[in-house]
Amino acid sequence: MSVLLAIVSQDADYYLMLSYILKGAGYRTMLVDIPSEAVATAVDRDAAAIIVDCQPGSQILADIASGLKERGLASDVTLIALVAEKAAYLDILKANVDESFTRPMPPERLLSYLHGTIGNSSGEATSRLAPIFDDVKLDVSSRRVLVRGTPVNLSPIEFRLLSALVGDAGRVLNRAELIAVAWPPTVFVEPRTVDVHIGRLRRALKQVLGRDVIRTVPKEGYAFEIS
């Protein structure tokens, strides 16, 4: 059975257009026009992702993110924000979404993200494991770190940051380089935002590895150390 996506929107025309594009790529969709019911509906119907049509000044996104966290589903249900050009990026960051796209957006960007994050049209993601060191591997298909087979769930941003650091292990990557690989090109990201996400990534890895593998180089950036 194909992957089900819950689309939260009060714009029926926009939903129909988006649904047409997604169904053409093999996904099933359902409209949730009562935002307060988004989380419950997604859980009941076993939706793999919630796509939120955000409007400026709306609390919908934050409420849905909070609802997923309260149910312990923040790592199981992908939360995607479709935001207006002038929407405040900090509000999106505070909501801790998995990914955001600025409207208008090329449909292929959303489809590419969905295929890489929650699998293909049959719901089956291609598993690609990339070794890091010892018993630690990168699960590219589900954006996780596997430590002796046990997954450590990371947000898409944190996973992309880790992938960039691991891919050039030992070299110091500056914040501009990390922003380029971890965030959409249309989103403005302050250097401090990179520090916040690196901090979360560092704590997650240290908790399972028992040591810090990300080196901070003051005024320069960050490097992944395997020794």
* pLDDT tier for residue 131 given thresholds of 50, 70 and 90: very low
Residue 49 has pLDDT above 50, yes or no: yes
Instruction: State the fold for domain 4-118.
Output: Rossmann fold (3.40.50)
Residue 58 has pLDDT above 80, yes or no: no
Domain range summary for the chain, segments of one domain joined by +? 4-118, 131-224
CATH class of this structure's domain 131-224: mainly alpha
- 6-10, 91-95, 126-130: the lowest-pLDDT one: 126-130
Distances (CA, A) of 19 to 5, 6, 8, 56, 122: 9, 10, 11, 22, 17
Question: Per residue in 157-188, pLDDT tens?
Answer: 888 888 888 777 788 999 998 998 888 777 78
pLDDT of residue 194: 93
Predicted structure pTM score: 0.55
Q: How far apart are CA 178 and CA 123, in angstroms?
A: 30
